[in-house]
Structure 1
Amino acid sequence: MAEPVPAPNPTDLLTRLPKVDLHCHLLGTVRAATFGELARRERLDLPESPEAIYAGINSRPPDPELYRSTRIPMPQGRSPDEPETSYSLFQASEWVRAVVRTPEDLSRIAYEACADAFLGSGTRHLEFSFDMIPGHLAPIGYAGVVEAMADGIRRAEGEFAMTARMLAAIDRSGSAQEALEWIRTVVEHPHEYVVGIGLDNLENSGPPERFAEAYALAGAAGLGRTAHTSEHVPAATNAVTCLDVLGCDRLDHGYFILEDDEVVARMRAEQVPFTVASTTSRRSWRPWRRASIAAMIEAGINVFPASDDPAMFPTTLLNEYLIQHEQIGTSLEHLGRMALAGIDACWLPEPAKSELRARSEAEIADLLAGRPA
């Protein structure tokens, strides 16, 4: 009689699971050690070491009165793990942004983002976003900035069994005209490694329809479209707008779609892809985030994990998968389906996407069956 196949060890299986990360901000990947080295070079006066700053990131939530009656109760007080000295994610990001100065810096942080994703999480494809070019990088120009980051990606692709692409992100705290000019720059300087656009920063800044013209321009150029939505505003409306007005192919976050049963039904029927992150810089919101993701899964929504700002939270894509299994209760089989759903939603060109899908499907089947690598 054949020996029974032992059940796979969850941590080992999830470590080896082929994953994609479609929601990751480049500035949020910068290693503390790299930040420190660049800060010393630029003589940036920091209140503490980069390691201490990262450990103290804890963004304060918006006005709690906005969230008094959400379907999934929102914590109103501080969480027990909040540090005595806190730094907002935006403040930390601005400090990092200020010390990234040269093409070599850009290439380095793009390479390190890829290396950390592959070596730390087994990420096979990464899509990271970058914002409008700050003034101190203007002499390099958009084309120079993108090519520098692409150089880092190419080096990583040459060393690791992975691919990566870039998304140009609109800062929603800016104006519609600024967004349009930014996306016009992106469209007028096409690059094979820039495959889409996104919309980030606090959703409370204003409704997404302000950026319809910029999104239409990106769509006409063949770029993929995503947006942070239903993350800070406790309503499902913005997610619908992102689909119907902005023409998004996938959505980031989306937890507040749970406020509207009709929207939930639509998202389930259309299997709209949502990138979700269990870890956030708003530490008091983490239990609510995880409960919301569990409810989205229970409702049949197409969600899959992402790392968001992995160095700064800190987290990793692997850690997000472990949280899904250990704290949210998602089965290993479902996590395998999530990994494949992420591939289906990525913006790799064909046939690379189909090849990644077929290879990953075979690997996942072997992992779940307990077959050796």
Structure 2
Amino acid sequence: MLTLSEFLTQIPKAELHYHLLGGVRMSTMLDLAKKYGVPLTEKEAKSYYRAYAHENEVMKGGIAALHFLYPLLREAVDYQRVAHEVLEDAKNTGIRYVEFFWNPNDTNLSYQAVTDALAKTFEQAEQEWNISAFLIPSINREKTPEEAVKMVQWMIDYPHERVLGIGIDYREDHAPIENFWKAYRLAEQHGLRLTGHCSEFGLHWRNVETGLDLLNLERIDHGYTVIENPELTARCARLGIPFTVVPSNTFFMKKWPNHQDWQKNHPIRQMAKAGMKIIPATDDWHMHDTNGVKCYEVMIEDFGFDLDGVRQCILNGIDAAWQPESLKQEWRYHWMKEFDDLRAQLVEEPKIAPELYTQYGPKTF
């Protein structure tokens, strides 16, 4: 018989929103700093990781960690170490498929060198652990639109089977997605898949609308303020636009420090109630102190999902993965059979508190 935690660990899952360097272990950060003679105390390293955050100390968080880590990774083997450890952590929580964001414009190495290094590690992990990993080069929107076009041109000049499409991340406040239309148009013209971080830090819902209508995004990362526009929300639900949502997103934890307020008001709950196609994701694994199990525990314990809802989220992840339909059909059959077999071994199904339960099941997605 299985506990709920054991069940959530073993069920197969797809992870579609994971920043590669957001999964760097703190011990690895310290090792790399030592390797290159970069001053970094353990206390300073801890400031990037929420697991070590204290009320009287500032937590720098994921974006600050990316700013620190990209200059720190100076050789291909550094990327390979990180990728190997990240995939090891992922497979230990039942993740079978990952699409990683990384930022080519931020690295000290060439696009080709990093792509080749990561691809080699992915191939080894697939043979060793039966976990598949792919890349989504992502625009750093804190840089210029011209830099974004340059990144896409690198992708065009060096196509690779492990590279699926493009994304965009970093702080959105002064860099709405329409600024980068040329990069997206160029990527689309060359058959690359399209996703983008939109409306993340409480920013306006029009960023989602612009991403869909101007840039032809297939998937939205975050997108939480979409619920402030009922018409747009209904449209996204009707069309089945996939949204990768992050239960550990720090913005809402700061907005609603009272846990009950956070549970009640979190937009992920509202998005599910509206029938949107959502896929739980970890974002910055170690920086956010989450993983592939904790992510789904929050969906159940805080957002009121039952196991039918969890099952549907996993199906949503398969649907939204950028892989051939024939492969996804295999996953639907085998993963869901595995899910159902493991579910039958549960000691008991989770009891959802009445104030949380909203009957998230297959028909509501």
Instruction: Classify the TM-score, shorter chain.
Output: 0.7 to 0.9
- DSSP 3-state at the match of 2:237: helix
1:366 aligns with 2:341: yes
- DSSP 3-state at the match of 2:18: strand
Report if the CA contact (8 A) 1:172-1:203 is conserved.
yes
Q: What is the rounded CA distance, in whole Å, between the counterparts of 1:329 and 1:233 in structure 2?
A: 23
Q: What is the rounded CA distance, in whole Å, between the counterparts of 2:45 and 2:54 in structure 1?
A: 17
Report if the CA contact (8 A) 1:305-1:317 is conserved.
no
**1:53-90: CA deviations, max 9, x gaps?**
334589xxxxxxxxxxxxxxxxxxxxx96352432433
Q: What is the rounded CA distance, in whole Å, between the counterparts of 2:126 and 2:288 in structure 1?
A: 26
- DSSP 3-state at the match of 2:173: helix
Question: 1:129 corresponds to which letter in structure 2?
Answer: F
Question: 1:320 corresponds to which letter in structure 2?
Answer: C
1:42 aligns with 2:15: no
1:94 aligns with 2:67: yes
CA RMSD of aligned residues (A): 2.3
Question: 1:279 corresponds to which letter in structure 2?
Answer: S
Moved more, 356-365 or 15-24: 356-365
**1:151-199: CA deviations, max 9, x gaps?**
1111111111211100000011222211111111112210000101101
Q: TM-score, normalised by structure 2?
A: 0.87
Question: 2:292 corresponds to which letter in structure 1?
Answer: L
Aligned twin of 1:229:
198
Aligned twin of 1:306:
281
Q: 1:179 to 1:289 in 2, by over 3 A?
A: farther
Aligned twin of 2:151:
182
Q: What is the rounded CA distance, in whole Å, between the counterparts of 2:88 and 2:51 in structure 1?
A: 23
Q: 1:284 aligns with which of 240, 254, 257?
A: 254
Moved more, 201-210 or 331-340: 201-210
Aligned twin of 1:62:
none
Q: 2:8 aligns with which of 11, 14, 33?
A: 14
Report if the CA contact (8 A) 1:230-1:253 is conserved.
yes
Q: 1:40 to 1:133 in 2, by over 3 A?
A: same
Matched residues, percent identical? 33
Question: 1:10 corresponds to which letter in structure 2?
Answer: L
CA shift at 1:352, angstroms? Answer: 3.0
Q: Which runs of 5+ in 1 are unaligned?
A: 1-5, 59-79
- DSSP 3-state at the match of 1:186: helix
Report if the CA contact (8 A) 2:247-2:298 is conserved.
yes
CA shift at 1:31, angstroms? Answer: 1.0
Aligned twin of 2:211:
242
CA shift at 1:91, angstroms? Answer: 2.5
Aligned twin of 2:20:
26
Question: 2:224 corresponds to which letter in structure 1?
Answer: Y
Aligned twin of 1:74:
none
1:265 aligns with 2:234: yes
Aligned twin of 1:69:
none
- DSSP 3-state at the match of 1:227: strand
Q: 1:209 to 1:55 in 2, by over 3 A?
A: closer
Q: What is the rounded CA distance, in whole Å, between the counterparts of 2:202 and 2:299 in structure 1?
A: 24
Question: 2:101 corresponds to which letter in structure 1?
Answer: S
- DSSP 3-state at the match of 2:136: strand
Aligned twin of 2:350:
none
Question: 2:306 corresponds to which letter in structure 1?
Answer: S
1:330 aligns with 2:305: yes
Report if the CA contact (8 A) 1:27-1:130 is conserved.
yes
Q: What is the rounded CA distance, in whole Å, between the counterparts of 1:371 and 1:315 in structure 2?
A: 23
Q: What is the rounded CA distance, in whole Å, between the counterparts of 2:262 and 2:321 in structure 1?
A: 23
